Amino acid sequence: MAEARIIDGKQFALGLRARVAKKVWSLKRDFGVTPGLAVVLVGEDPASQVYVRSKGKATQEAGMASFDHRLPAEATEQQLLELIERLNADPAVNGILVQLPLPKHIDTARALAAIDPAKDVDGFHVVNAGKLAAGIPGATIPCTPLGCLMLVRDVMGRNLRGRRALVIGRSNIVGKPMAQLLLQADCTVTIAHSRTVDIAEECRRADILVAAVGRPELVRGDWIKPGAVVIDVGMNRVSTAEPGKTRLVGDVAFEEAMQVASAVTPVPGGVGPMTIACLMLNTLASACRAAGAPVPAEAAP
C-alpha cells in the first residue's frame, strides 16, 4: 500500500490564521472593535515562555491586541486572582489565557473558575465544558480538540457520521472535549486511558484515532486500522544519541503509522500550530460576541 498522507497542520493553521486576520479587519471596520488577548504566565518555565511568545506573535499578526502579564513564581494565588479580576473587568480584553501548568501552590481549578466564561478562550471553564457536554450553543471549544477536528474533517470531509473514533487520554484539556466533539459529529466514540485493558485492540477498530496521553511513540503501526486517520497530540521531548540534545516525538510511532494509516499528523508541524490558530479564532469569536457581531462558523463546529 502507498504511504499515508502527512496532514500539514502548519499549512492549515497558516490558512486559518489568515481567515481570522481578515475577519479581525472587518470587525474593526464595521464595529470599531479590536480583539484583545491577555496571556498570563506565572513563573519562568522556559518551555512556557516559548509558547507565550509565539502566542503573542500570532495575536499581533492577526491584527489583535496582545497583553502580556508575568507574575513571579512565588506570586500568591490571591495575586493571580486579583489580576484575573482586573482582566475580567477590562473591556479591551476579550480573551484571557492563564498558561498551564501553574506553580504547585496555586489551585488551578480556582484560577480557571475565576476567569469570566465569556473571556475563557481556552474553553477550560466549567461553564464552557458544561455547554459543550450538554450541546448548548455558544460554548468556547478548547483549542487543541477544535484544531484536531478541523484536521480530521479536512481529510475525511465534514460528515463523520457513524465513524468509529478512539481517543486515547481523558484529560479535561484534550481527551474529554475531543470525545465530546466527535460525539457531537455523530461518531461512535471510545475513550481509552491508563486503565484500559487492551488499548491496541481498541485502536484496531478505530477509523479516527486521536492520541493524547504524553507517552512517546505509544501507538505502534500494528495497532492501527488500515486506512485510519491518525491525529497525534503528543509532544514528548526525548533524549537522542547525541548527548544533551533532545528531539520532539508524538504519542504515535510516526514511520510505522505512515505504512498503515491513510493520513497522519506529524510532530512537530501537526496539531501544535492548530492549537495556536484556534486560540486566535476563539479570541476573535469572543470579541464578536462582545460586539454583537456574527461569530465565525469555524469556532462553532
Ligand X SMILES: Nc1nc(=O)c2c([nH]1)NC[C@@H]1CN(c3ccc(C(=O)N[C@@H](CCC(=O)O)C(=O)O)cc3)C=[N+]21
Active site residue 99: yes
131-170 footprint of ligand X as x/- string (CB under 6 A): ------------x---------------------------
**Between 35 and 163, whose beta carbon lies closer to ligand X?**
35
Question: Which of 269, 290, 291, 301: binder of ligand X (CB under 6 A)?
Answer: 269
CB of 64 to ligand X, least distance (A): 16
Q: How wide is the angle at C-alpha 124 spanned by C-alphas 236 and 92, nearest 5°?
A: 110
268 near ligand X (CB under 6 A): yes
Question: Is the Cβ–Cβ distance between 208 and 187 less than 8 Å?
Answer: yes
**Between 212 and 224, whose beta carbon lies closer to ligand X?**
212
**What number of other Cβ atoms are within 10 A of residue 248's Cβ?**
14
CB of 253 to ligand X, least distance (A): 17
286 in a known ligand binding site? no
Residue positions counted in the chain: 301
Question: Is the Cβ–Cβ distance between 17 and 278 less than 8 Å?
Answer: no
219 near ligand X (CB under 6 A): no
221 near ligand X (CB under 6 A): no
Instruction: Identify residues 114-133 at the interface with ligand X (CB under 6 A).
Output: 122
Angstrom distances, CA of residue 130 to CA of 37, 98, 101, 124, 232? 23, 20, 22, 10, 25
CB of 282 to ligand X, least distance (A): 10
Using CB under 6 A, which of the segments 81-89, 95-103, 176-184, 188-196 binds ligand X? 95-103
Question: Which of 99, 128, 180, 286: binder of ligand X (CB under 6 A)?
Answer: 99
Q: Please provide residue 237's backbone torsions phi and psi, each rounded to the nearest 5 degrees.
A: -90, 120
Buried b (16+ CB within 10 A) or exposed e, 122-141: bbbbebbbebbbeeeeebbb
Active site residue 49: no
Catalytic residue among 23, 119, 120, 122: 122
Instruction: Identify residues 65-84 at the interface with ligand X (CB under 6 A).
Output: none
Strand 263-264, strand 229-232: pairing: parallel
Active site residue 79: no
**Between 199 and 285, whose beta carbon lies closer to ligand X?**
285
Using CB under 6 A, which of the segments 91-99, 191-199, 205-213, 226-234 binds ligand X? 91-99
**Between 69 and 225, whose beta carbon lies closer to ligand X?**
69
Question: Is the Cβ–Cβ distance between 243 and 233 less than 8 Å?
Answer: no
Q: Which residue is nearest to ligand X (CB)?
A: 272
Residues involved in catalysis? 55, 99, 122
Binding site for NADP(+): residue ranges?
169-171
